[in-house]
Structure 1
Amino acid sequence: MPSAEFTAAADSVQKLPKTPSDDELLELYGLYKQATVGDNNTDRPGAFNFKAKYKWDAWDKLKGKSQEEAEQEYIALVQTLSDKYN
């Protein structure tokens, strides 16, 4: 179950006045999935589905990281992005 702090961070990232870079968005996605689902056990998307493949890779590289650790890293990243874009 995600913490209240994690849920608040996930909500606040949606309200940033400027969209984070693609790399930042992928990092957010990977940490969010690792924190909420755990290790990626899905098949990698096909070669021509670039967006899905990048998202899958961002999540898969976190394999083995605990959900609690991913949650804390996600919260810290959202704070960094909030400082940068607000």
Structure 2
Amino acid sequence: MSDLKKKFEAASASVLKAKKDPGNDMKLKLYAHYKQATEGDVKGDKPGFTDFVNRAKYEAWGKLKGMGPDDAMTAYVKLADRVTRED
């Protein structure tokens, strides 16, 4: 397993244990970068207008279209570091 993959997995575990709520904007960024790193570009139909939460997630992930998995993992680790540092 690569060093980046280990850092990514450690960061995703640390985010789940964060004591302080990072806020919705940060949660969306974390979600989008995690999905981009693990699944690649956004897939499926865009959720309906009334499904606010899933639509926001879909759109956040869609903004990262074309970003490679290593870049997404690196960005996720940096975001997670900010979240856990603020605890």
**TM-score over 0.5 (shorter chain):** yes
Residues 3-45 of structure 1 show CA distances to partners (whole Å, capped at 9, x for unaligned) of: 1111110000011111111000000000000000000121100
TM-score, normalisation: structure 2: 0.92
SS at match of 1:3: helix
CA RMSD of aligned residues (A): 1.3
Match of 1:79 among 73, 78, 81: 81
| Structure 1 unaligned regions, length at least 5 | none
In 1, distance between residues paired with 2:48 and 2:41?
20
| Structure 2 unaligned regions, length at least 5 | none
Amino acid at match of 1:74: Y
Please report how far the alpha carbon of residue 67 of structure 1 lies from its aligned counterpart in structure 2 after TM superposition. 0.8
TM-score, normalisation: structure 1: 0.93
Match of 2:6 among 4, 7, 23: 4
In 2, distance between residues paired with 1:41 and 1:17?
32
In 2, distance between residues paired with 1:83 and 1:75?
12
Amino acid at match of 1:6: F
Runs of 4+ with deviation above 4 angstroms:
none
Identity of aligned residues (%): 40
In 2, distance between residues paired with 1:39 and 1:53?
15
In 1, distance between residues paired with 2:23 and 2:43?
26
